[in-house]
Amino acid sequence: MLSLFRASLTVAALVFVVGCAAGDDPADTTEQFFQAMKDNDFEKGKELVTKDSIKDMKEPKDDEKIDMTDLTIGDAKVDGDKATVPTSFKVDGKEVKLDTVLVKEEGAWKIDAGATMSAMVQGMMGDAMKGMGDAMKDAKDAMKGMGEDKK
């Protein structure tokens, strides 16, 4: 009887561990996903995205594989069944920052690839617009100085 009790405890512990690995924490899911992408483990990556996201994913060819470094995962911000996780990494030495978007699907946190890509594009556009604004301000300041030299 005692061995049956021990076996039950072991099974319960395994279910708990596997359940945690399957996406109880949005930040953990995010880290597992980007680590899978970094390792070019497409099958593992598919396990961590929503069902809707899987149909839009295609396995990269060997010459399309990403050389990702310096992966950093921030703290998740959870709002009901949705969460965002600040994520950054480098590709070809250039830093990429984005908010990874996750949703609860069948009790586990899964990455919404479409929403994450939209967030990334919006972030890149915002950075580009800020850069253009800074450049225009610098040009305006430079032009002010030119008019004063001729007096």
Q: Is this model's pTM higher than 0.85 or not?
A: no
Q: How far apart are alpha carbons 85 and 62 in whole angstroms?
A: 29
The CATH architecture one would assign to domain 2-149 is Roll (3.10)
In the chain, where are the structural domains located?
Answer: 2-149
Instruction: Identify each DSSP E strand in 94-147 by its residue range.
Output: 94-105, 108-111
Instruction: Tell me if 111 sits within 8 A of 100, measured CB to CB.
Output: yes
Task: Note the pLDDT tens digit of each residue in 36-93.
Answer: 988 888 889 999 999 988 876 777 676 667 788 999 999 999 999 999 999 999 988 8
Q: What is the DSSP string of 2-42?
A: HHHHHHHHHHHHHHHHHHHHTTSSHHHHHHHHHHHHHTT-H
